[in-house]
Chain A
Amino acid sequence: MGCGRVGSELACQLEAEGHQVTVLDINPDAFRRLPASFKGRRVVGNGIDQDVLRRVGLTEADVFIAVTQGDNRNVMAAQIAKHIFQVPRVICRIYDPIREEIYRGLGLETYSPTRITVGRMKEMVLQEPVPRRE
């Protein structure tokens, strides 16, 4: 759910590795990010609507990934996937690190790009000694 840079790239890579992939986005223009070679289904619709999720086949899906720009939309869709459709693996992007911590505590498998980027950048800065200024 969410055909942005991350969603479209992830969809292509998973498909290239032989998985069956469906991409859902509320805005049909978003599918322009998918190359013509992408064979998976493209579905226009709102991922926090149970009927839409049923239509994209969540009852049979093995994995559901929520990567729209809206933290709350991702959180809600991921919880519907997990608790209503019993999708075995649900991954949810949450930019806000505080909200991410809360929903991780509530049992969601979450991913906060903010927290991970900060950690990684800190590592980059601190791991190697900085050359002294002349």
Chain B
Amino acid sequence: MYVVIVGGGKVGYHLAKALLEDGHEVLLIERDRARCERLEAELGDIVLRGDGCEVGVMEQAGFNRADMVVAVTGDDEDNLVVCQVAKARFQVPRTVARINNPKNAEVFRRLGIDHTVNATDAILAHIEQELPVHALIHLLSMRGGGLEMVEVRVPPHAAVVGKRLKEVLLPQQSIVALIIEEDGTPKPPDPDTVLHPGDKVVVVTRRENEESLRETLTSPARFGPYGPVVAPR
């Protein structure tokens, strides 16, 4: 695959490195000269110096034959323009944008970007693990069909605690992709997997089902094994 990455910061660098190791053809576009030199010393002759938002630079980078364009600069507006121009002008089949302000996920989706990746939400989840507000975190938007990958943390008093996956009635077109136990161990889901408090359940779901999914996995049990359960505030 030919992948063009715009933005040679830490994210761009590590992404380029990983894709190269997997045998893909990669081009990294970076504006800053000194940074370009460092990237070239590390990664070899795969760096193009220039403003990745400029159509001239995109032509030079071969956007017209790129299978994927990934925009990972620190500015959401630049990432948006790179992806939109890649699609409108060069018909790039897939575009991925990093978003820095989590609220822009919706904007990018409405403006036609295939995928967005958002570190802020993921980090927030770790900082504010105890806050129920962040019970559902967006990990990835998949535009084809309006699917989302989300992570839901199972609270201690949830009704689903102790149940097997096959006993949990998820909203339509929701599939559990992965379960991460509280100690961080990832586990492939199985119909007999028992849900524990603190489990992070990674689910692919439809956008409109998010709310009912969150409710299913987090609403408190009405009755515990020893009578009514008082849910914490």
A interface, CB within 8 angstroms of B: 48-51, 70-73, 75-76, 79-80, 83-84, 96, 98-99, 102, 105-106
Contact = CB atoms under 8 A, between A and B. Distances in A.
Nearest to A73: B77
Contact of B75 (A72, A75, A84, A99): A72
Given A50-B107, A80-B107, A96-B54, A106 B88 contact: yes
A83 B88 contact: no
- List the 8 closest A-B pairs by CB distance, nearest first: A72-B77, A76-B77, A72-B81, A98-B55, A73-B77, A76-B80, A72-B78, A102-B88
Q: Helix, strand, loop or mixed for chain A's interface?
A: helix
Contacts of A70: 77
Interface of B: 53-56, 75-78, 80-81, 84-85, 88-89, 101, 103-104, 106-107, 110-111
Nearest to B101: A49
Contacts of A106: 84, 88
A102 B82 CA distance: 12
Contact of A51 (B75, B81, B103): B103
Given A72-B78, A106-B88, 13 more contacts: A48-B104, A49-B103, A50-B103, A51-B103, A70-B77, A72-B53, A72-B81, A76-B77, A76-B81, A84-B106, A99-B53, A99-B55, A99-B85
